[in-house]
Structure 1
């Protein structure tokens, strides 16, 4: 029973017009693992959760005027979700899996100035997901040099 209670941290909740399809697709495309599903009186998803590593993403329906899928908002997103893969994980293969499942690959895998290799994908309802894996550990000074200067720490803003 304690598996349903998370420690202090952050989770994201995304709304779908068809959360059952999204739930199955997220498992197939991105490798998210089912954690829990609560169905309403009509066997529709009222709330569900999936995990990836130690993180949780909540998958739900459009339940108010303020909780909509990008599909219902002309494709607009108010947030995107970043998912960090385990070091050594093959991000190119992960991208291939997502593409095979029907994800629109918005940005092919590429290595960023800060040492992560990333790609960006859009799911069938328009949510944008970014996946990254650290391929080279770098210091903030190395990031600054690679980015051409201008990097600041939180204390120097």
Structure 2
């Protein structure tokens, strides 16, 4: 059972969800739209993890390249990296090996948020 749910707001949540699925491999679990067609609440799944997404108001500030708000564990880092790159993700840190045995990379989503991916599973 999950107990932590990162939540993201995007000016165009429908486009962001499509991109997150195409680039990072998420799957849409559930979407609830508001009366105006915006995303009031959505859930995206990756393996046994979940994030929540919704339509935000206004522009978001662009985080620093090393300010990883989200870390997602993946089985094959290099395949995942290539998928994200092919989908147009801005790779802000190319794949690298850590001293604790993980292989990691970082990419920016269309709203400017940096996501960190790696093989480390605590």
TM-score computed with the length of structure 2 as normaliser:
0.89
Higher relative CO (CA 8 A, sep ≥ 6), structure 1 or 2? 2
Change (3 A) 1:116 1:32: same
Q: Higher strand proportion, which one?
A: 2
Within 5 Å, which residues of 2 pair with 1:29-48?
29-48=23-42
Report the equivalent of 1:81.
70
Report what 2:89 is aligned to. 103
**Which structure shows the higher helix fraction?**
1
> Structure 2: which 5+ runs fail to align?
none
Name the SS for the 1:102 alignment partner: coil
**TM-score normalized by the length of structure 1:** 0.70
CA distance in 2, matches of 1:121, 1:72: 17
Query: What is the aligned partner in structure 2 of residue 22 from structure 1?
Result: 16
Q: Distance in 2 between matches of 1:76 and 1:28?
A: 22
How far the C-alpha of 1:8 sits from its partner, in A, is 4.5
Question: CA deviation digits over 1:21-72, x for unaligned, max 9?
Answer: 0000000001101110000112111110101111110111215xxxx6xx53
Q: CA offsets, 1:73-127, max 9 Å, x none?
A: 2x13676110011xxx321111111011111001111110110000000011101
Give the RMSD, CA atoms, in angstroms.
1.7
Moved over 6 A (4+): none
Is there any run of 5+ residues in structure 1 with no aligned partner, and where?
A: 1-6, 135-157
2:116 and 2:37 map into 1 onto residues whose CA distance is: 31
Number of residues paired by the alignment?
118
Task: Give the structure 1 partner of residue 79 of structure 2.
Answer: 93
